[in-house]
Amino acid sequence: MASAPSRKHGLGLLNEDLEEWLMLEDMNLDALTFDVEREKKGLGFLVAEVRDRKTFQESFDRLVRKGCRPDILFLGLHYLLRSELHEVSCPLPGKREILSLATRLRKTVEDIRAFEKKYAEAHRLRVSTLCIHDPRPYDYELFFNARNSFSPWIPALPGSPIPEEIRGFTVDILAYAEMLQSWWTPRSDAVKSYAAIYNCAYAKVATGKPQFSIVSDLNTSFIGKSIQPDTLRKNLSRFQQRNRQFYLQMVSNLRSEHGATDGTLPEPVDWPKLFGSKADKSK
């Protein structure tokens, strides 16, 4: 049984929301890439990846005869290919990288505080001289990290308690380090998880059933990696639970795209023309 998704937060949002935002951006970019490549090269750029031409044609044509539109099936295969290539719309930082940067920022704040404490008077005189002549490109108050509680623009007198840092760049540095603590990076395969189930979701819209067996043959013959019907069934169930809102919106979009016809069945694909002289990778 698939486990319920985590309800952790990041940047004030549920992690599932962040994951779905990344998925939506990724899907939109993949769809744009598909349109651009198809405009430049036709669908030949995609069918050139087919690993088992005979099984691919048979399973694709079976879905088309059941009412699926070829253009939507090809888009789903493009998503699958991009997923296999691990091509994501934007690079995501790893947890170790995030923690390392946060640690370095906090260490920098400690070093700045130690420097200001050790050279407080000299620092005050130097900053005052700079600001009298030309404070640009910084505002006067940003030269001082610590602030006097009565007058934020006047540094504390020598020997007096260090005032609270109510403004200054160390406050901003620490705020940035805290922001990094809330960073949450989903696994790259989670961001691309819509790709594996897209044509099952579409087949259900077009035919009333996910057609796991046929889509399994289609996907396997396309990428050359065995994808069993039971695996597709589990992936679809897991995706529906983990990314329910995204799934519902995706299905709604598929219904709109599928229904944008006059009700006639789509024409079968002219495979000899589409494949042309390209060699069959299954041979």
Same-domain pairing of 269 and 204: yes
Same-domain pairing of 32 and 20: yes
From first to last of its 283 residues, the chain has per-residue pLDDT tens of 333 333 343 334 445 566 777 778 888 888 898 999 988 888 888 888 899 999 999 999 999 999 999 999 999 999 999 887 765 556 677 778 888 999 999 998 888 878 877 877 776 676 666 655 655 554 544 555 544 444 444 444 444 444 445 456 777 888 888 888 776 665 555 667 888 899 999 999 999 999 999 999 999 999 988 889 999 999 999 889 888 888 999 999 999 988 866 556 667 788 888 887 655 665 5
- How far CA 255 is from CA of 68, 69, 205, 263, in Å, comes to 11, 11, 6, 13
280 found inside a domain:
no
Same-domain pairing of 217 and 253: yes
Residues 117-144: pLDDT tens digits? Answer: 787 777 667 666 665 565 555 454 455 5
Report the domain count for the chain: 2
Query: Which among 181, 201, 235 is the end of a domain?
Result: 181
Same-domain pairing of 68 and 114: no
Cis peptide upstream of residue 5 (ω within 30 degrees of 0) = no
User: Can you give the residue range of the structural domain that contains 236?
Assistant: 9-91+187-275
Same-domain pairing of 165 and 210: no
45 found inside a domain:
yes
Separation CA 124–CA 160 (nearest Å): 14
Same-domain pairing of 193 and 73: yes
Same-domain pairing of 49 and 28: yes
133 found inside a domain:
yes
- How far CA 191 is from CA of 19, 22, 195, in Å, comes to 6, 6, 9
**Tokens 């996907």 correspond to what residue?**
219
**Across-strand partners of 27?**
none
Residues 82-92: pLDDT tens digits? Answer: 887 765 556 67
Handedness of CA 111, 112, 115, 117 (dihedral sign): negative
Beta carbons of 209 and 236 less than 8 angstroms apart: no
Query: Which among 130, 164, 181 is the end of a domain?
Result: 181
35 found inside a domain:
yes
Copy the structure tokens of residue 49. Answer: 């990846």
Handedness of CA 282, 78, 56, 43 (dihedral sign): negative
What is residue 88's three-state secondary structure?
A: coil
Q: What is the pTM of this model?
A: 0.65
Query: Which among 128, 154, 181 is the end of a domain?
Result: 181
Same-domain pairing of 55 and 70: yes
